[in-house]
Structure 1
Amino acid sequence: MNLNEIFQSVRAASRKLAMWDVEMVNTLLRAVADKIEEKTDSLLEANQEDLQRMEVSNPKYDRLKLTKERLSGIAADMRQVAALPSPLGRVLESYTVPSGLRLKKVSVPFGVIGVIYEARPNVSFDVFALCLKSGNAAILKGGSDADASNRVIVELIHEVLEESGVDPHVVELLPSSREATAALLHAEGWVDLIIPRGSSSLIRYVREEATVPVIETGAGICHTYFDQAGDLAKGAAIVNNAKTRRVSVCNALDCLLIHRARLADLPDLCAPLQESRVILYADEPAYEALSGRYPVEWLRPATPESYGTEFLDYKMAIKTVEDITEAVSHIYAYGSGHSECIVTEDKEAADFFTRAVDAACVYVNAPTSFTDGAQFGLGAEIGISTQKLHARGPMGLREMTTYKWIVEGNGQIRKK
C-alpha cells in the first residue's frame, strides 16, 4: 500500500468512527490493555532490538526503553482513558437568536490526526487511546530509533481491532523515512491536524514545512526561580525532583534562577543533585558560592550557550538575578513557554510571577515535573502544547476535539 492509499484508508475509517457508541470504544481500549499484558514479552523483544542500536549514554535511551513495569503502566493508562467520560457531544454553548433559531455549539472530532514523534514508543499507545476515545483516526509517524517497537505495537492494536471486526485503518503507522514525513506534512484533504512531539529541531521543521494545520508541542526549556523569600527545604526538594526525576523529558528543569540575597544557601539548595552527579553550569556569583561546596568535577563556568538550552541530560544552568523582575525577564528571553516555577513564601511575589510569566504551566512551590496529562487528571496526553491557539499545556481528550454548530429552526427564512 502506498502512502496516498494509506491516507485514503485512514480517512475512510475515520468516517465510521462517528457511528460508534462510547461503550464500543471503551471495550476496544480495555481489550488493547489486556493484549499489552498478554504480549509483554514480544513488545520487550522488539524494544530490545531498538535499544541495541542506541548508546546507553544517549539521553533518548531512557525514553526509548520499555520495561514490564512501564508496559503495565501503559495498560493501566489505557484502562483509565476507557473509564473517562467521552469528550464528544458536549454542548459548549446554547442560545436562541432573534430569528427564533436555536444554536448549539457541540464538541466533535477533528477527523484524522497525524502525530510525528521520535524515540518514544509509549506515544504509539497514548496517541491511539486518545484518538480513538475522542473519535479521531490516527496516523503515526515514529522515528527510526523506535521503528521495531512501533511496528509490533501497531500490529498488536490491529490484532485487537480485527478480532473485534473493526476497520484496523483507524490507526496506521507510516514508514520511518523522511519521505513519509514529507508526505504527511502535505496530506491536505486526508489529514486534518498534525501534532509533532520531539526535539525543537523536529518541531521547527514541521511548523515550517507543513501545509496541514499544526499544533506545536514545543521543547521544554524550564526554569525554577528561588526567590528571596524561598523556603530552603522546599527549594532543594523541588529543584532535585524537577531536574533528576527523568532528565530526558520535556518538563525537566534546565535552569535555576537564584536571588542574589540567597547565594549563601545555593550549596544546600544544590546538595541533593550530587547524588545524581548533575553537572552545573554556574555564572560567576553562583560559581563562587558553590566552590568548595559542590564537587569540582561537576562544576563548570556558565557560557552564553548554557542558557536557553534544553539539556535532556544530568546538566543544569544557574543564573544569579537581582530580583524577581530580572528572573521574569530571563525567562522571557530564554524560556520556551512550557513550564516555569517560583519557590517563595511571599504571596505577592507568587502572584506577580504567575501573572507576569508567559508559559503554558506556571508553578508555585511545586516542581515542573508535574506537567503531565496523567498528573493533571486528564488520563493520558498527546503532548504539551506551548502555543496559544486551540490548546495550551497538557493535551488530553477534550483538547483532541473541535466543535460544530447545530442550528434548529421551525421553517424560518432569512429576509434581505
Structure 2
Amino acid sequence: MSIPNTVQAYRASLLHFTDDPLHNVQGMQWHEDGLLIIQDGRVLAAGDYAQLKHSLPEGSSIAHFPGKIIMPGFIDSHIHYPQTDMIASPAPGLLPWLEKYTFPTERQFQNPEHAAEVASFFVDELLRCGTTTAMVYCTVHPESVDAFFGESEKRNLRMVAGKVLMDRNCPEFLRDTPESGARDTEALIQKWHKRGRQLYAITPRFAPTSSEAQLQLAGELAQKYPDTFMQTHVAENKDECKWARELFPQARSYLDIYDRYGLMRERAMFAHCIWLDDTDRRRMAETQSAVSLCATSNLFLGSGLFDFPRAQEAGVPLSMATDVGGGTSFSMLQTMNETYKVARMGGTYLPAARMFYLATLGGARSMKLEGTIGNFATGAEADFILLDPQATPLLARRSARTDSVEELLFALALLGDDRTIAATYAAGKLVHERK
C-alpha cells in the first residue's frame, strides 16, 4: 500500500472491534505494538506496526506512546447536558428528582449565554473523559440546541442532539405545544442536521410529558426525516410505567405508546428499558430500535436492574450511556464499572471486551453509524483516545500484574476514570490532553 506524505501516524498498543465479541471471538482486534495512520481526519490504516511501518513515506514522523493504548473514542448514547450543574442531587426517586432539581435547572436554558457556558463546560468534560460522540438531550428551548451544536461545531465533533418536546405534566415555564414543538424541531433539523458533523435527534422527553397530539407530530417528523435520530426514555421506573399506562390506556405497554406513533425505527434510541416484557423486546429487535444502558443512573435512582439475558436472546441492539445528571460520572470507564455490577446482580457476567465493544462499535451500530465512527475501519472518522494504564498508582500496580488483554481491559474498566484518558482526538486533531 502506498501512503501519501500528508499523513499522521500514531504508535502504541491498538484496540478496536470489528464485531461483537459475544458472538464472534475474533471481533476484538488487539495489536500489542500497533500503528494508526490518518489522513484528512479519516483512518487510512490500522494494524501491526511491523507490517505497516514500511508503507509510510521515508522520513515520516510517528508519534510514539510506549505503554499506552490507542482505541476509538467512547460513544455515550444518552446524556443530558442541561443537567451538568445538578449532577449528584439527592432525591428518593425519579419523579421527585425531576420536580425538585431537573425542571428548575432546565428553566435557565432559555438564556443563550447561560446555555453556551454550560455547553462549553459539558463538551470539555466529555472530551476529558474520552467521549467523542454522544446523544444529547437539550431543553425545551431552541436556544439550548443552538448553544450545544455551536460548541460541538467549533471543535468539529460528531454529536447528536435535540430539543426536548414536552407539552404537559411539567411546569408551565418548560411547556411547548404540539404545534410549536414540531415547528421548532423542524427548523432545527433544517439548520443543524448533517451540518458538518452535527446530527439531529427528535426528542420527546418521555411519553407522560407529551400529549397524543405531540407524539403524533413527532412521529410525522420521524417519517418525513428518516435519517434523523429519535431519542426518549422508556420503562425506567415502576412508578413511571404505571403513570404511562394510566395516561395511554389504549397502548399494550409503555413501549407500545411510541410504536403507535411511528417512533420505533432505525436510529431510535430508548434509554433504560428495564421494565419491558418479551413482546417489547422482540418489537425492538424487529424495528432495530436500540437500548441505551444507563447502569449508573438506574442504581442512583433505584430504578432497577437491566435484564441482559432476555435482551440478548431477543437480539436487541445495545449501547452504553452515562445518563448525566441521573448518572453521577461523565466517565465511560466508571460507567463500565457500574454496568458490570448491574449485570452480575442479574446473574450475567460481562467480559471487559464486551463492555469496551458496547462503549465503541456497539454504540455506533445501535446508532447506524458503523463505518463512520466506533472503530478503525478504513475511511472511518479518526476519533480516538489514548489510554494510560499507569494513570494512577493503583491502576499501574494492577496493570503490571495482568497476564492477558482481557485482564488489562478489566482493570481499566474497574479502576479507570477520567485520569486514564491521556489524550482525546477528534477527526485526527488533538482536542484534549491530560496535563
Shared fold, TM over 0.5: no
Q: Which has the larger radius of gyration?
A: 1
Scaled by the length of structure 1, the TM-score of the pair is 0.29
